[in-house]
Every structure is written in C-alpha cells, then in structure tokens.
C-alpha cells in the first residue's frame, strides 16, 4: 500500500516579544535578553523571533548609564505580541507608573506571557501579576520586594520560569533565561549554538542561585556573624566545629545559634552545610573532577553521605546534577489576586505599526558564515 507524501510543514510564525523599558533601565540586561533572539534568527536562517522596544509615550528613555534609547513604539500601539518583558534597573519603585500597571494588566487579560529582567519584576508585582508565582529579581531589590509584595514567591535563583511568567535577575542572567526559553521552543542544539557564538561556556539553569552578598542581608550591625560566615566560606574542605567558630569570635555556642536563627533563619550547622553543598554543585557543573573528589573537597567523609545530603538539599543526586537532568518542580498554586483594581485606560491607536528590527538584523546576517548553520525540525 502506498501513501501519498505529506506536504512540508509550514514554519510557525515568528514569536513577537515586546520589551517595556522603565526609566533608568539596565542596558546590559536588555542586551542580554535581545541578543540571543537575534542570534537564534541568524543560526536558523529565518525569523524565529521579532522584538519591539516600548515605552509609555514612545519618546527616548534613559538607561541607567545615561544613554538614551528611542523605543520602537508607545504602549498605545496595538501590537500582536506573544510575550511582554519588563526591563527594569535603578529605582524601580519610582520608575513604575500607573500607565505601566494598567497596560500590563491589559496584556495579562490578553493571555500574553509576561516576564521581567533585572528589577522589571517590580512592575509585574505592582500590577498584581506575580501573586502566587515564583519570582526572580536582582538581589539588590529582593528585600524591598519581599516587604512590598508578600504574595509574590521571591527566590534567589538567577531566573525562574513558572507557568506563563519568566523573571530573571540582572547582569547576564537574562541571557541564561532566554537560552532556556529558546531551547524549549526550538531545541537544545540551537541554544547550544547561540551559547558558542557568545563565548558562553555554560548555560546556567533555573536551579542556579544568585550570590547575594551577606552584608546586604545583615547590614553592618552584625560583624560577629559576618566574621563567622567568612570563616565558614574559607574552610569548606575541612569544616570547623561550631564550638571553635564561637570561640574565634568570643561568643558562646548558644549565642552563635541565636544569631543564625535570628538573621539567617536556620541553624549554624545547616548554613554551613548549605555553603558546602553549593560549592559542590559548582564543582559538579563546572569541572570534570570525580564525585568522590568533589565530596572530599567539600568536607564530606564519605560519598554515600555526600549523595544523601545533596539529594535532600537539591532534590536530585550528584550524578544527575552532572548529567544535567532536571527535577520536576510542582507549580505553586495560584492565589486570588488582590489590589491594582485600576480601570483600563483608553488610548488613541497609532496609525502605523512599527517594523521589528529583527528583520533588518536577519538581512544583515545573511553574509555571516554561521547563517542558517543550525537545522531546525520545523
């Protein structure tokens, strides 16, 4: 029996992403988010993504380094977007305006995916759009967000993808988030190709954490605690007993435990274990040394004990960590959204829809040797 050949599948339409720029946004983070999209188009040899920069009125807007960027359009332009990413930076509480909040709530009603980079999560939280969602934000903004938006589930991860929300911290963390999203959309080969083009030796995942400076958490009022943590960090391979740590800074063990419980919400031994396991995770992901040697380098007397502690803390054994398999994370149940009951503003639409600069960038890339170097299944 012969079967008629199937017609070739028509490539999916490119995804359109709008980047909403807040005043004093971080230009570095914006570039970290857009450049992977440009390179995805170049390596695929076709337009997988297009992007638009947006502001309230379409006028030039200042980045945190003083450079002005002219957006592609105002938020009044009715664009057919698949995703909206808020780009924050310095002073997000001052930068978020009522117009931002109302527009973002409108985008949520249109069932568009929403994201934030650097401190852009603040705008989404202000609009009530992160209630019940796990959320990443630059560590400098973490404490303020926890206090201002208790219904958002703040994490210290580099980036977090929770259902239709994708949020990241600052710097180059948006690069890792975008590579993860691109890999989900078009396969790991394309994400790996982009990483190679950007001389990025490792794509960090959702489980990677920001290193939040302890001084930012504790302030300057607890020098003894800072000193103890410094001693712990300097002695991971041969852990110091708690009695010795207490003696080093002239406090009793009971006082030491009170300090940790009050300011770090855990026991000293638990915090020390976390430091050692975090170091072990870095070694597993960034080096090729054996698991036995990793355990030894992080102060564990036996590999089985190390594996047990690692599994309990990270949710998977060291071997799976090295292989790159991901644990299944249960979604956080959505909460009833409160606040931000603002009526939708009415705007006069712009007469002309802007053209995404993705098309121009793709045309310029045709002469590059890497153009269309990654074959996609669709």
| Best mean pLDDT range from 7-16, 53-62, 198-207, 361-370 | 53-62
Query: pLDDT confidence of 289, banded at 50, 70, 90?
Result: confident
| Chain-centroid distance, C-alpha 248 | 38
Say which residue, 133 or 326, is predicted with more confidence: 133
From residue 101, alpha-carbon distances to 17, 86, 331 in Å are 18, 11, 25
Note the pLDDT tens digit of each residue in 30-57.
999 999 999 999 999 999 999 999 999 9
DSSP reduced 3-state for 1: coil
Is pLDDT above 80 for 318? yes
**CA torsion, ordered 216, 219, 223, 229, to nearest 10 deg:** -30
pTM exceeds 0.75, yes or no: no
Say what the pLDDT of residue 4 is.
56
Query: pLDDT confidence of 339, banded at 50, 70, 90?
Result: very low
Mean pLDDT along residues 173-197: 95
237-243: long-range contacts (C-beta < 8 A, 24 or more apart)? 237/296, 237/297, 237/298, 237/299, 238/299, 239/272, 239/276, 239/299, 242/268, 242/269
Residue 372: which region, alpha, beta or left (left: phi > 0; alpha: psi -120 to 50)? Answer: left
From residue 117, alpha-carbon distances to 19, 96, 298 in Å are 10, 14, 33
Query: pLDDT confidence of 8, banded at 50, 70, 90?
Result: low
Query: pLDDT confidence of 203, banded at 50, 70, 90?
Result: confident
| Nearest in space to 369 (alpha carbons), one of 196, 219, 172, 232 | 196
Say which residue, 179 or 207, is predicted with more confidence: 179
Say what the pLDDT of residue 45 is.
94
Say what the pLDDT of residue 347 is.
39
Mean pLDDT along residues 7-28: 87
Cα separation, 55 vs 73, in Å, equals 7
Say what the pLDDT of residue 310 is.
93
Say what the pLDDT of residue 326 is.
46
| Best mean pLDDT range from 67-76, 217-226, 323-332 | 67-76
Q: Which residues of 9-45 are buried (b: 16+ CB within 10 A; e: fewer)?
A: eeeeebbbbbbbbbbbbbbbbbebbbbbbbbbbbbbb
Is pLDDT above 80 for 331? no
Q: Which of 124-138, 248-262, 315-329 has the lowest mean pLDDT?
A: 315-329
pLDDT above 70 coverage of the chain, percent: 87
Note the pLDDT tens digit of each residue in 88-102.
999 899 999 999 999
Say what the pLDDT of residue 209 is.
80
116: part of which helix (H) or strand (E)?
strand 113-117
Say what the pLDDT of residue 338 is.
38
Note the pLDDT tens digit of each residue in 128-184.
999 999 999 998 888 788 888 999 999 989 999 999 999 999 999 999 999 999 999
232 close to 242: Cβ distance less than 8 angstroms: no
Total length of the chain:
378
Mean pLDDT along residues 254-280: 90
Mean pLDDT along residues 215-219: 65
Say which residue, 365 or 81, is predicted with more confidence: 81
């Amino acid at each position: 029996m012969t079967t008629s050949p199937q017609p070739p599948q028509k490539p999916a339409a490119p995804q359109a992403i709008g980047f909403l720029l807040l005043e004093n946004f971080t230009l570095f983070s914006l570039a970290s988010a857009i450049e992977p999209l440009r390179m995805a188009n170049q390596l695929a040899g076709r337009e997988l993504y297009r992007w638009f920069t947006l502001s309230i009125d379409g006028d030039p807007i200042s980045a945190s380094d003083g450079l002005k960027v002219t957006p592609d359009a105002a938020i009044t332009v009715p664009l057919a977007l698949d995703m909206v990413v808020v780009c924050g930076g310095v002073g997000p509480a001052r930068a978020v305006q009522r117009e931002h909040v109302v527009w973002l709530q409108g985008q949520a009603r249109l069932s568009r995916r929403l994201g934030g980079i650097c401190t852009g999560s603040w705008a989404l939280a202000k609009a009530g759009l992160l209630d019940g969602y796990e959320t990443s934000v630059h560590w400098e903004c973490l404490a303020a967000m926890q206090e201002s938006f208790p219904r958002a589930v703040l994490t210290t991860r580099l980036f977090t993808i929770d259902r239709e929300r994708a949020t990241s911290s600052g710097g180059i963390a948006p690069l890792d988030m975008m590579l993860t999203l691109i890999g989900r959309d078009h396969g790991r080969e394309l994400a790996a190709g982009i990483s190679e083009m950007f001389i990025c030796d490792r794509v960090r995942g959702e489980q990677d954490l920001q290193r939040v400076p302890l001084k930012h958490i504790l302030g300057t009022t607890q020098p003894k605690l800072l000193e103890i943590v410094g001693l712990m960090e300097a002695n991971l391979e041969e852990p110091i007993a708690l009695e010795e740590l207490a003696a080093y800074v002239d406090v009793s063990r009971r006082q030491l435990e009170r300090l940790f419980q009050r300011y770090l919400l855990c026991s000293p031994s638990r915090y020390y274990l976390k430091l050692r396991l975090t170091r072990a995770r870095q070694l597993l992901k960034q080096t090729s040394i054996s698991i036995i040697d990793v355990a030894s380098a992080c102060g564990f007397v036996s590999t089985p004990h190390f594996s047990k502690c690692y599994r309990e803390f990270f949710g998977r054994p060291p071997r799976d960590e090295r292989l790159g398999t991901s644990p299944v994370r249960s979604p956080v149940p959505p909460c009833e959204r409160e606040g931000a009951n603002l009526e939708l503003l009415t705007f006069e639409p712009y007469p002309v829809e802007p053209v995404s600069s993705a098309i121009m960038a793709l045309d310029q890339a045709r002469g590059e040797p890497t153009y269309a170097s990654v074959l996609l299944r669709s």
